[in-house]
Each structure stands twice: as C-alpha cells, then as structure tokens.
Structure 1
Amino acid sequence: MTTTLATLTRPQKAAAILVAMGKPSASRLLKFFKQEELKALIEGARQLRTIPQSDLEKIVAEFEAEFTEGAGQLDSADKMDDILNEGLSPEEVQALKGDGKPLNAAKTPPPIWPQLEKADPLRLGAFIAAEHPQTSALILSRLAPQASANVLLTLEKGLRGEIIKRMMALTSIPETATKIVEGQLRSRVLSESTAKDMSAGQSRVASVLNEMEKSQMDEVMEDLEKSGATDLEGVRARLFSFDDIVLMTQKARVALFDGLSTELVTLCLRGAPPDMTEAVLSAIGARSRRMIESELSQGSEGIAMADILKARRSIASTAIRMSHEGVFELPTAAAQAAAA
C-alpha cells in the first residue's frame, strides 16, 4: 500500500526522513526531540506505508534537510523501532510506547523500615502512642524484634498490651494501607529537618546534665518542665547518673564493673546508701568484694566529697559509653520514673 504526499501529517513526514537517513544518523538526532515529539513520531510511523521516492524527495526539501541516501520506501513501525532501540535505552523506549514508566518518573524511595530501626525509640514511640493500636501493631510488626522491643518499652503498660494483642492477631495488610502508614512515618518520624536537629539538641543538653549530681539534674529538668520546654522525653532517655545503677539489670551491672579498678569502685561507694552499695558489690567478684568492704569499713575520713563525685561521674560516663556501643541497655525513662 502506498501513502500519498497530500495525506501525510508533519510527524509522518519527520518519521519518513528519519528512516531514510538510516539508524546511525537518526539515532543521534533522536536525542534532540522532546518526549511528546518522539511519541508523535512513533504514532506517525505506525500509520505509514510505502512512500514513492519522488514524494520522499519533496518531503526532504520541505524540511530543508540534506537527503543523502534515499530508498523511497518505508514500512513504518519496525524500522522506527530499530532506530529507537539504537538511540535510546530500553526504559526510554518502553516509556515512549506507553508500556513503561514515564521518563521523568521519580525513583522509588528506599525502604523505610531499616531507617526506622535506627531511629530514636522514644521518637517512634511518641508517634505510635498517638496512633490507633491497629496502626501501631502494623508498624511494630514490620520492625526487627530488637527495635520493636525498644519502642514497646517506651509505651505505657496498657497501650503496650493492647498493641501486642493486635500484633498477635495481625494477618495480611492491604498494600494501600501500608503505603499510607509509610508516608506518615517518612514525614513525621524520619523528617530530616526535625529528627536530626532534635536529636542533636537533646544529646547536647543530656551531655551537660550528665555532668551534674542526681539532685541537680532533677532540679534542672523540673525547671525545664515549668518553662514549657518540649521534647523533654528525648533528653530524659539520654540521662544517666550513678544513682541509676540500682535500676540496671544484674547482667548490665556485671558488664559495667568488670575491669574497673577496685580503687575507683571503693571511692564511688564512699557514703553511698546500702541499696546502692549492695547493687554494686553484687556485680563484682567475691575477692574484690571483700577488699572493697574492708576499705569501706574504715570510714571516709579525709576523703574529699569532690573526689567521690568525680569517681561516680566517671562510672556513669562509662555506662553511657558502653550503652552507645551496644554492650547493654540503660534503664528507660519510664523505669526511672516508676522507681522515683
């Protein structure tokens, strides 16, 4: 079947010229077309049939292009596909043909769950506490067990039990619902402009407070609450003093005092209450315990309180460092509040 010059559209004429030019030259030209123009060329090529050479020469003259190698024929789509495949990537070709993603489609964002597992448990816990328990169950079920446990420990017991109950009964979740939850988590939990700045500020404040005595630390936190300061839970989660050692698990205390000198441990226990002394001594070996008890029985006369407080801050700093290294978990803010 022959196509007459009078019935050709401009996209069809352009397609005819490209095919006549051959793949190498035509492929280089394709890079200069817009996406909409390329789609029009493809559609025009699909409708073309054989074109007489005389008509092809007129088309070339009309477009004021140099015609160096004419054949006078075109069998449309197949040759245009060859040119497209030569000059464009497979993804670009698929997009132009309408059977793939748009060329300017946004890249799929990275999976959100590994990022959430690295987020501050208190921050994620605050988000979960404000959501429906079913939504919270969905979120925690997608996290690694350790990360999920860390978040659960920041929640109130009643809410914690309700969420765990729903996690046990959780079955398949519609993909649409999961995407909605992921979007909220990205904007409200993983927002770089808020999470990073908040975490950095909380760490700075906690570092200052951790240099204070327990009573001073509590007084400053009380002042902050009265002043209306926000996000104090994030600061509390980073606070740890020597007095909090009684709240640590036995395993964590053993890890903390393993390797500390008996002189440092003896000094920090000068004037300590009986429950604190027992918590520390129960975490060390029998021989070291006897030596320390013998030293403590001789009293604390002549020993400066400043030296005792310095020793206690040193041990508290060691506990914070070891928790950051993942050796053990420090008592949660909820556990400290309950003990108080």
Structure 2
Amino acid sequence: MMDFEDFGGSALSTKPLSKAEKAAAVLLAMGKGVAGKLLKYFTQSELQNIIACAQTLRAIPPDELLELVNEFEDLFTEGTGLMDNAAAIEGILEAGLTPEEVDGLLGRRTAFDDYQANIWDRLQDADPAFVGKFLSREHPQTVAYILSQMPSIFGAKVLLQLPDSRRADIMNRAVNMKEVSPKAAQIIENRVMELIAAIEAERNSNGSNKVAELMNELDKNQVDTLLSSLETISKESVNKVRPKIFLFEDLMFMPQRSRVMLLNDVAGDILTMALRGATNEIKECVLSAISPRQRRMIESDLAVQNMNLNPREVAIARRAIAQEAIRLANSGQIFLKEEKKDGDKPAEAA
C-alpha cells in the first residue's frame, strides 16, 4: 500500500510542505488519468488528509514542484502553478472513484445527511398539537412519510393529535410505504420547512403572549402608557401585543351572548365595585347583559356615593372580571371579540 508518510525529502521553501501537502501537490500535478489510478492505494483517512491539504495548498513554483517530483519514484510531470487546487483535486477524485466515494470524501453526503437530520430533529422540539394541526391539512400519504421520518417518540405524540378517523389510514400507508422518489421527497421536505417556519413564528409569538399577560394585570391607564412607550421603540411589537390584551373596558367589544355568559356568573358586589367610576357607556354595556333584578340592585348601590372608595379595590374587581373572560375564552366557552365575517370591511381608524 502506498503511504504518503513514507515520502521523504523536503522542498526548498521558507515554509516547508508537510508530507501530506507534498502528496497533494504531486497528485495535482500529474493529472487526472494517472492520479485517479493511484488514489485507490491510499486509505480513506489519508485521502481526506490529502484533500484538506489540496484545498489550502499554497502556490508552488515549477522548480520547487520539480524537486518534489524527484522525491517520488516513477512519477513525473511539469509544474502547473496549481492555481485551482480545490477544483483540480475534485476532478482527480471523480476520475478515479465512484460518485458515492467522491461525495463521501468531499463531505457532500455528510452535509446532506446533516441537513436531513436537521429537518426532522428540529421538529421534535415543537408542540405535538401544533404539528398535528398543521399535518391535518395534508394528504395522508404525505403525513405518513413525515411521521416515518420523525423521531419515534415525537412521531407517536403527533399521531395522537390527528383525528381518529385518519389515524388508521395514515398508519397503513406508513407500514406499506415504498421508496419515495427524490423529487417527491424534496417537495415534502420543502413543506416541512414551511412547518418549521410556522413553528418558529409561533415561538416568537410567545414573547408577545407573556407581555400581554403582564399587561392584563394592569389597569387601562397603565397599559395605555406602556403601549405608548413601546410604540416609540417598535410599532411592530405593539401590533403583536395589543390584540392579546383584554381589559375590563374591552367588554364593550365582546359579543352580547358571550358577555351575558360571563357576567351572569360574576358576583353582584364585584360587578358593583368594577362599575364605580366607569363611563356611562361601559355601565350600560355591563348592565344590559345581566338580569333585570340584578341590574336594579347594582344601579341602586351605584346611586349611593361611596366617599371611602378605594381605587385599588376597583382595579382588582375589574381585573377579576377580565381574567375570568380570558379563562372562559381560552377554554372555548366565549369569544372576546366579534368574529369577522367574510365580506366585512375592516373598521376605519378613528
């Protein structure tokens, strides 16, 4: 076996070449035909070392190259200048090795495998429910392929998120799946990249969710002040946070049916306290959603001036109602805002 560690001698240069660099230089100089035949006598690790050296090899003058050639018995060539080392060594490899071997030596296959692994591994950090919802819109064969590529534990969680009526068909397709053509695989993987982008967008929205949760603990004046300050820095951030904020005053934008469901479960003393100091518009909005009897009682209490009114108690009562609205909305029992219907024109800015 030819071993470049056995090559002796040294080139006359201010920066002597290593033995691997000498081997790379001579292989590059001898041309594809001869060099390609010699490659099979090197081990894989030796070839990889030679390739690495060839890609960073300095320009070698003809006289120096000639001295190198003299170190290798039975090898001869003319100095070439070695201007495009990376392309030249690739050409030599392709002349003497199979495409698979070339890909392996140049790291192409490894890079592709890393890309593939990266796609599927990135999915397993997502919420299975989110991925399942995304896949529920895809063709069963596509879903079967994607599930078969996912890490098993995560794939099982995603499968449970899919409708019962589709699971058996998807599992059957996964069991009987034949080899997928590269073109079809690429189309599906592009779709997976869209899923990953959607996952990233969802993660980015978590920050606005947290900020909204904090602001939902404040009163309207504080929220307005904070939003105004935030807007001076980033209007985009304000647009992300504002729709997720729900305060007591936002009851006016809630559908009447949802408002009735919410307020009929709120104690009268809390409603009374929340309405202290409220505008007539908000008062009417709330009172119109409760029973006539309870309305009369609250109106009677509000008519009595409370000289010892504590603003903090009013804020707590309003926050309690807003938090209950958010809880019911999250459980799907009510809607916080009127749903837009197809054909509705967007409201004009005030």
TM-score by shorter chain over 0.5: no
* TM-score between both structures, scaled by the size of structure 1: 0.44
* TM-score between both structures, scaled by the size of structure 2: 0.43
